[in-house]
Amino acid sequence: MLAPQQPPDAGTAWNLTDLYASPRDPALSLDLEKSLKTARDFQSEYQEIEIASLEPADFFRALKRYEAILEIGLKPFLYGSLLFSEDTQDPVHKTLLQKGKEAWNQLENTLLFFRLALTRLPDSKLKALGDYSPLKEYRHALEFHHRFQPFTLKEKEEEIVNRKNLTGRSAFMNLFDEFTGSFVFHLKIGEQEKELTGSEMLALLHSPDRELREEAFRTFLQYHGENSLVLTALFNALVLDYRVEDEFRGYKGPMQRTHLENEIAPETVDLMMAVTENYYPLAQEYFQVKACLLGIPKLKNSDIYAPLPGGHREIPLPEAKDLLLGSFGRFHPLFGRIAAEFFEKKWVDAKIRKGKYGGAFCSGLTPSLHPYLLLNYTGNLRDVLTLAHEMGHGIHFYLARKQSLLNFDPPLTLAETASVFGEMIMVQALLRDEADPEVRQALLGAEIEDIIATVFRQNVLTRFELALYDRRREHLLTGDEIGDLWWRENANLFGKAVEMIPEYRWGWSYISHFIHSRFYCYSYIFGELVVLTLYEKYLEEGEAFIPGFIRLLESGGSASPDELLSHLGLDINRPDFWERGFKVIRKLIDELKSLRP
Ligand SMILES: [Zn+2]
């Protein structure tokens, strides 16, 4: 099926012709050829030159060309991924995505020499370049690369690490995906015996049927336990592999590399996590309130995502769109205008179709292209919040288009700023218009549960990961030992408020973040607490807050997180900074408690 055919429900399907007319558009093959050709020209022109010896004006021209090549090369790849998510079963989409990926990989390899040259710029050169005014906008990008200089190996060694990873770390990662992806679970639902995939099993944690939730979770975890031989071996191998590489590169401890990538001081992360732990009782308080609302004496951990009564209120898409435009527009007319443009110009694909990617995302593309949103809108309250969340991302990327490509993507820790903020705006708007106390409870509950999953749970995950790396230094770990570490960290969060089902000892073994992007989880805590703090500041300052917030979004990734936030008068290195977000959680829980009959 070709993209330009307008489906009858054109209001809720996106129009990708802004990128290419169709997968067979000659412009697409032309871009693929052009990007690779310009990359090769660039390579032959610069590879033999000492990049560090270029005059600032020549260096600036080289950097601009590098950026332009990346921008052309990304377009076919991103188009391929959007088409694929629209219909993952279409063979034309699959082929195009693969072609785009391979071309992008080739492009990156051709330009690798330049990226390494940026990392290796001597301090004195970096300073001289920084003083040249056209390069000022790249100051942050250059400093970012420079920070990895002490940990970069010789070119040949880097190549060996890269190529050995194909049969080492990457092979283990693929094995994890393929192995766990092949799991089939058998579960009795009602009178029927069903065969379900892992994600279908986990989706049952949202079922209103308590026994079904528990049975699904038990079966899911038990099966992982039965396959512990492979899963435990994978965890052991990957943790050791990272440690060996860290030692070669000279990193101090397993988190240093992630901290550098996130541009956050280790002390700041330690502080953030310690403060989060101090507030574990706040999460326990919510779990107790939830048990009350569900009419059960105590939650099991299979009940945490159970729907609250009132959660079934239906909001059709046109109504959700009006709510979104109204609430974003009231926050600031610019937000309302941009959100309206997304719908008018068909940058949103909300309708559920067979073969479509199952989740929701915003693809920011590049500064020369506008973003697109994909959702699977069914009309429940969570979907309305997801719409606001993804539209927040959309507005963030839209505003950051003022930046050039190297400064476009926000830092990982601030990537969720506008999205979570958008959700908060939407929750407040829904609460304002909702008279039914049960629906109000469900709304507040959904918001609090999101926050708990992003702040408290990610803290548990990070603590577990640290313990895992620490213990693996001593010896090869058994599945039971890993289970003990996992159980201990979860027990700290749940306290007496939640009973863990015994099979939860295997709860670590299905979390792909541990396999694919170690220590990624703490950036969720960081991002969420920053947004809650920004939201609290907005409540305090009202309209005066908004111009600075818009500037923050417009800045994209042109500066480090602490610098971007300092323009709003926030200092992430102050001990009391991390306390502020918890005030918002406190207020939400109090509001929920006040609704109880
Ligand atoms: Zn998001």
Query: What does the pLDDT average to over 375-382?
Result: 88
Find the 393 Cα to ligand 1 centroid distance in Å. Answer: 7
Find the 57 Cα to ligand 1 centroid distance in Å. Answer: 39
Find the 359 Cα to ligand 1 centroid distance in Å. Answer: 11
Find the 416 Cα to ligand 1 centroid distance in Å. Answer: 5
Residue 456: half-sphere exposure toward Cβ, Cα within 13 Å: 26
pLDDT of residue 3: 38
Find the 390 Cα to ligand 1 centroid distance in Å. Answer: 6
* Of the listed ranges 47-51, 173-177, 311-315, the one predicted with least confidence: 311-315
Q: Which has more pLDDT, 359 or 302?
A: 302
Find the 297 Cα to ligand 1 centroid distance in Å. Answer: 34
pLDDT of residue 1: 34
Query: What does the pLDDT average to over 161-186?
Result: 88
Find the 241 Cα to ligand 1 centroid distance in Å. Answer: 30
Which pairs from 251-257 meet CB under 8 Å and 24+ separation?
251/151, 254/466, 254/469, 254/518, 254/519, 255/466, 255/519, 257/151
* CA atoms of 171 and 376, how far apart (whole Å): 32
Assign 489 a pLDDT band (cuts: 50, 70, 90).
very high
Give the percent of the chain with pLDDT over 70: 98
pLDDT of residue 10: 39
CB 520 within 8 A of CB 490: no
Q: DSSP characters for 279-299?
A: THHHHHHHHHHHHHHHT-SSE
* CA atoms of 570 and 564, how far apart (whole Å): 9
pTM, full prediction? 0.88
Query: What does the pLDDT average to over 338-353?
Result: 94
Find the 389 Cα to ligand 1 centroid distance in Å. Answer: 6
pLDDT at residue 451 is higher than 90: yes
Query: What does the pLDDT average to over 552-564?
Result: 95
Find the 76 Cα to ligand 1 centroid distance in Å. Answer: 24
Find the 467 Cα to ligand 1 centroid distance in Å. Answer: 28
Q: DSSP characters for 242-283?
A: HHHHHHHHT-SSTTHHHHHHHT--HHHHHHHHHHHHHTHHHH
Q: Which of 177-181, 197-201, 471-475, 481-485 has the highest mean pLDDT?
A: 481-485
Find the 530 Cα to ligand 1 centroid distance in Å. Answer: 14
Find the 494 Cα to ligand 1 centroid distance in Å. Answer: 26
Q: What is the pLDDT of residues 239-280, one digit of tens each?
A: 999 999 999 999 999 999 999 999 999 999 999 999 999 999
Find the 554 Cα to ligand 1 centroid distance in Å. Answer: 17
**Neighbour-count burial for 444-471, b at 16+ CB within 10 Å, e otherwise:** bbbbbbbbbebbbbbbbbbbbbbbbbee
Find the 425 Cα to ligand 1 centroid distance in Å. Answer: 15
